[in-house]
Amino acid sequence: MSLLFPAVALLATSFANGALIVNGDFSTATSSKSGTGVDTNTAEFRDVDQGWIFKGGWTIDGTTGTATKAGSNGNFAFAQINSIGSETGSSLKFQLDWVPSATATGTELNLNYQIVAWRGSSAPSADDDMFRFINGSSNGVGGLNGTVVDLLDGSSGTGNYNNADFGVFTGTAGVNTTFSTNIDLSAYLEANNDISKFQYIGVRLNMGAASASTTAVGSLVDNVSLSVVPEPSSAVLTLGGVGMLALRRRRR
Q: What is the predicted pLDDT for the residue at 9? A: 37
132 confidence band (pLDDT: 50, 70, 90): confident
Q: What is the predicted pLDDT for the residue at 4? A: 36
Residue length, the chain?
A: 252
CB 199 within 8 A of CB 116: no
207 confidence band (pLDDT: 50, 70, 90): confident
Q: Which residue has the higher pLDDT, 199 or 30?
A: 199
Question: How far is C-alpha 28 from the geometric centre of its chain's CA atoms?
Answer: 16
Per-residue pLDDT tens digits for 64-73? 899 999 877 6
C-alpha distances out from residue 230 to 20, 175, 221, Å = 14, 31, 26
Q: What is the predicted pLDDT for the residue at 211? A: 67
CB 93 within 8 A of CB 224: no
What's the CA gap between 247 and 3, in Å, rounded? 9
Q: What is the predicted pLDDT for the residue at 153? A: 94
43, 197, 195: which is closest to 124 by C-alpha?
43
In this predicted structure, which of 47-51, 95-99, 120-124 has the lowest mean pLDDT? 120-124
What's the CA gap between 212 and 192, in Å, rounded? 36
CB atoms within 10 A of CB 186: 11
Name the β-bridge partners of 39: none
Q: What is the predicted pLDDT for the residue at 129? A: 83
What's the CA gap between 172 and 175, in Å, rounded? 5
**Mean pLDDT confidence for 146-153:** 92
**Mean pLDDT confidence for 239-249:** 50
Spatial strand order of the sheet with 177-184 comes to 58-59, 67-69, 220-228, 91-99, 177-184
Q: Which residue has the higher pLDDT, 61 or 196?
A: 196
* Helices assigned H by DSSP within the chain: 4-16, 232-251
Complete domains list, the chain, with CATH:
19-230 (2.60.120.260)
Predicted TM-score of the model (pTM): 0.83
3-state secondary structure of 191: helix
242 confidence band (pLDDT: 50, 70, 90): very low
What's the CA gap between 13 and 154, in Å, rounded? 30
Per-residue pLDDT tens digits for 13-34? 333 334 899 999 999 988 767 6
